[in-house]
Each structure stands twice: as C-alpha cells, then as structure tokens.
Amino acid sequence: MAQDLHEAELFEEAAARFGTPTYLYDLPRISDQAESLRRAFPTAHMRYAVKANANGALLRHVAALGFGAEALTLGELERSLRAGFAPGAVVLGGPGVTAELARRSVEAGVSLVSLDGPGVYELYKPLLGCAAAANLRFMVRLNPGFDPDTHEHLATAAASSKFGLATEDAARLAESVASDGRLAGFHVHAGSMLTNAEVAHMVVAALEPLYARFQECTHVDLGGGFAVPGAPLAQFAAAYTGFAERHGVELILEPGRFLVADAGVLLTRVLHVKRGAKTHVIADAGMADLLRPALYGATHPVWQVGADPAEATHLADVDGPLCENADRLAQAAPLSTVSAGDLLAVRQAGAYGFAMASNYASSLRPAEVVWDGAALRLARRRERPEDLWRLETND
C-alpha cells in the first residue's frame, strides 16, 4: 500500500474495527498492477486466475477493470459468474474437470476450455451438439518439460509435473479436436514466481512446431506466473507478443498473484514474546491463516506497524498459535523491540493467503477487509465457532 495512505493509521484502524487476524486488500493497488500489465501487453486478453484470491469484493473489482477470469473448479466458475464476469470471458481449465463442471460450463456459456488431457475432452464430446456449445472451442495444454527456475512445487512446466501433455501427445489430442472443428490453440503455464525471462523464450520455442503444424489456431494462452516483486515484464512481453504476432493469433494471459499479492496484508497481533537463544514472537495468525511459509518455504516481509524500519535490528521468528513446528509466518524477521499487543503486518499476502486458509485445529478463518482508496469496508466477516459445525448433520 502506498505510503501516502498513512499505512500505520490505516492498519491500526482496520485492526481496531475488525480485529485480528484480518486480511486487508488495497483495491487501488490492484488497479495499478492491472495497468502495468496492460502497458506491457497492450493486445493481450487478461483472464484473472481466480484461485489466487476469490473474495467477492475483489472479484467484482477485477471484473470492473475489464478482465475476464480463469476458473479451475465449479466453485470458481460460479464465483466468477456471480461477480459479474461475462461467461464468454471465462477460460476453464485444470486437470480435475468433472462431468458436472463440463455440463455447467457449457450451460453457462463458457466459450474457451483448456484441455489438460484427452479425458477432459471425452467429457465434453457428448455436449458438443448442444445449442449452448455452438461457440465452444478448446486449447490443448502443453507440458514443455523444462525447468522454469522456480520452487519445485510451482514448476508446472517440469516434465515431472502433472499438468498438460508432452508435445506428441498434445499434437494427437489437437488433431482430434481439430477434426471436430473446435481447436483454438495451445496453452502453456510454465510456473509461478517466474523471474527469469529466458523461461519465456523456452515457452515459445516449445510452441513453434505446434503452431507451424496447426495453422488454423486462433489463440495462444501463456498463463501467468509473473513474480511479485521482480518480474521482468518487458522481456516476457517481447517474447510472448512477438510469438502471437508472428503466428497471427490472439494472446491470452492468466495473471493471478501479480494482480493481488502486493495489494494484500495479513494483520496479526502479538500474543506472547519468548526470548532466549532465539526470539519467538507468538502471533494470533499462523499457518491456518497463511499457509505459504509452511507449504513452500515462502517469505513474506513483516512490518511492526508504527515502528521505524531503521530500528528493526532484532531478528525473531514470527510463529503462529498452533501446536505445529511449521506454524510460522516468518523466520529471522527484522523487528524492533516487540511486546504483546503489538500489531504486525505480513506483506505480499493478497494471493494464496485466505484462499488457502483452513479450519485446522478448529481455527476460525479471518475477516477480509477492502480499502477502496477512501474507506475501509468489511468484505467477509470473521468466522464464529458455530460456523465450524454449520454444515454437519445430526447423524
């Protein structure tokens, strides 16, 4: 969030009004990130990756910016439609498409589906005769089988990953789709947190023989994965836009983290401080609220709200409240002298934060609040104990 928003006052107000832990999203920051993508890729069709953050207020904001959506599940599809994304601007994909999701996507008017494998196309083939499927077309997801220079859990282009098909398998599926007159093109998502622009050149090199072979293609979907911070957008744009222009196809991108990560903070209060050989700051937020540090070893900057960063000379682990050694938000975080009751802001938490939050240990998922540039408003209330058993039966 920009310094002229008086971050400390804003964060303190949000924590006082809505409690902690709380996610706070800066909607103007999302608009800024969207504009930076449009400047870099002026001809691309943007499809926001809903899995990054599916809060309804945030989705409505992204839809109002003119973005489409990329959905992987029935829930994401329904959320997208409810938030106002046009069905024709929704790309459906993922390896786990079910018969129910296929039927619903056709019924809703989704016009572009990424096929992770031939089994997904088999689900759609009986639906192709429906009037609602008249404009439905498909992309085939290619697994180019290279190292995209990121964390192994995020390396979706690696040969060992579950996503997509090797070149010859992708070509065979494309031939089947093309014989039905339904081929739109190919889809590659190399990975997430990409900082090496050479990855973009490897992606387009893998696609060249397929577009030479299937000259009827009209689209190419190159996913997202641009790192926050540090993505060399101009270099990615040169490779991706050049490929699309060379083959006369429309470029689709699926940004998720890039739009929303830097727009979100997780606000958490210090419960206890344990000083010894290592300082442990026990906070009221942990892995049930923000899983990425435990899952990926992800690092998130932590700010002691109101403290001068120049005085943050004490290293401490910021740990969560659960009985798990992996329950931490940061290791060796630079803090000032910290005490119980202090407010911490865990930055770059707008993507895969609340989206991965859970009720582990019967934790109550946090509130979500948005800042629209003028006022704070509650976007999702904090869970209450009765929410934990609300869906249970009496059996």
Q: For residue 381, give the DSSP letter.
A: P
Residue by residue, DSSP assigns 352-374 as SSGGG---GGGPPPPEEEEE-SS
Question: Could you tell me the sign of the dihedral formed by the alpha carbons of 199, 203, 204, 205, in that order?
Answer: positive
The Cα–Cα gap between 200 and 239 comes to 6
Which three-class secondary structure state does DSSP give residue 252? strand
| Phi, psi torsion values for 88, nearest 5 degrees | -70, -10
The CA distance from 77 to 54, in Å, is 10
Helix intervals (H) in 84-130: 99-108, 118-124
Separation between Cα atoms, residue 283 and residue 322, nearest integer Å: 10
How far apart (Å, rounded) are the C-alpha atoms in residues 181 and 187? Answer: 18
CA distance 157 to 186: 14
Q: C-alpha distances in angstroms, 271 versus 198, 228, 274, 289, 376? A: 45, 30, 10, 16, 25
Whether residue 42 has a cis bond before it, omega within 30° of 0? no
How far is Cα of residue 20 from the mean position of the Cα atoms in its chain?
23
Contacts of 25 (CB under 8 A, 6+ apart): 53, 55, 57, 58, 260, 263, 264, 350, 368, 369, 370, 371, 379
Give CA separation, 263 vs 4, 8, 129, 160, 296, in Å.
15, 15, 43, 33, 20
Q: Is 248 left (phi over 0), alpha (psi -120 to 50) or beta?
A: left
Catalytic residue among 134, 212, 310, 323: 323
Between helix 74-83 and helix 99-108 the angle, nearest 10°, is 20
Do 188 and 222 contact (CB within 8 A), yes or no?
yes
Strand, coil or helix: what is 349? coil
Phi, psi (degrees; rounded to nearest 5) at 14: -60, -45
To the query of whether residue 323 is one of the catalytic residues in this protein, the response is: yes
* Active-site residue list: 323
